[in-house]
Amino acid sequence: MRLFPAALALLALTGACRAADTWALERWIPPFDYRSTPSEIAYQPLKKARKHWRVCASYPHLKDSYWLSVNYGMVRQARKLGIALEIVEAGGYPNLDKQKAQIAECAKSADALIVGAVSYDGLRPLVVTLSKRMPVIAAVNDIDSAGVAAKSGVSWISMGEAIGHYFATLHPKGSPKVRVAWFPGPKGAGWVGFVEEGFQRGIAGSSAEIVSVKWGDTGFEDQLLLLEDLLEEHPNVDYIIGSAVTADAAVSLLRAKNLTGRIGVLADYFTHGTYRAIKRGKVIAAPTDSPVVQGELAIDQAVRALEGTLAVSHAGPTIRIIDGKNINTIDINDSLAPASFTPTFKVE
């Protein structure tokens, strides 16, 4: 399991994904193969773009603070490099046709496209077509590699494995059985199949009994409805594990039903909500993939692709687990946008 490479001890002590103008990343060679073993690199981002490039970035949604943190990273790096950035968001993972239409329109006036896809392969024809006249960068969510110039992301297999493995340390195989409800996310999204694979691998060494699997969009109301169904079907469940939005909704629902403390909650990625909930002891743990850095890196890759200096075509931050033991000491600035930041759709 790829959670504690040599440099991770230093990262755990400093909490840093960056030092001065260098980012500590993991790089995949050959690129676009998340199943290979990445190597650690010290990545030096650009200081300024050669011209005022125009970049279009498409997100699945801005319904939770994870993508807000990606947005913050992109906006910060775009301003630093002196380029224009236009953001569009599809409103949710079921909205493939909407994302296609938004990308087609936004790309008309862009030099490069960054896409956080709602579907692993649903955008393939459009991406291939657009790649003939501009570089296409895949950010955060994995997509089919046809036409893609670079990817900024982490292995969602490793994200799922991280939280599954963490759970296994709490309830190792051979200990009393615990009933777990698993909320993978929306079927067909570019990260869900991978996080499902990794999670199942991670909990293989645990005493978990998966009593329910609930698929659905990562909107708060969607997850709340799924959680209400779960508690009707399995009132004696011991743990809820799923997306950060699942965790947020679970904290709210368990409080309303006076079940806080009886049912444990873990998330498979990290947001402002999970940060607050871990600090308050309402969520046990979550892995962070530093979405701020992923946003910054995607912008950097887009500009390098335009300027012919793209040497690192597939990289992302190191995954770190955050729990009650390190929540007060770990640096979260690479993971969370500042509280004052609001969604920003244009940088001129």
Beta bridge partners of 287: 321
If you average pLDDT over every residue of the chain, what do you get? Answer: 92
Asked if the model's pLDDT at residue 260 lies above 70, the reply is yes
pLDDT in tens, 310-320: 999 999 999 99
Contacting residues for 221 by C-beta, under 8 A, at least 6 apart: none
Asked if the model's pLDDT at residue 179 lies above 90, the reply is yes
pLDDT in tens, 201-254: 999 999 999 999 999 988 899 999 999 999 999 999 999 999 999 999 999 999
Distance CA 329, CA 324 (A): 10
pLDDT in tens, 84-122: 999 999 999 899 999 999 999 999 999 999 999 999 999
pLDDT (0 to 100) of residue 34: 86
Distance CA 216, CA 228 (A): 13
pTM as predicted:
0.87
pLDDT band at 64 (very low <50, low <70, confident <90, very high): confident
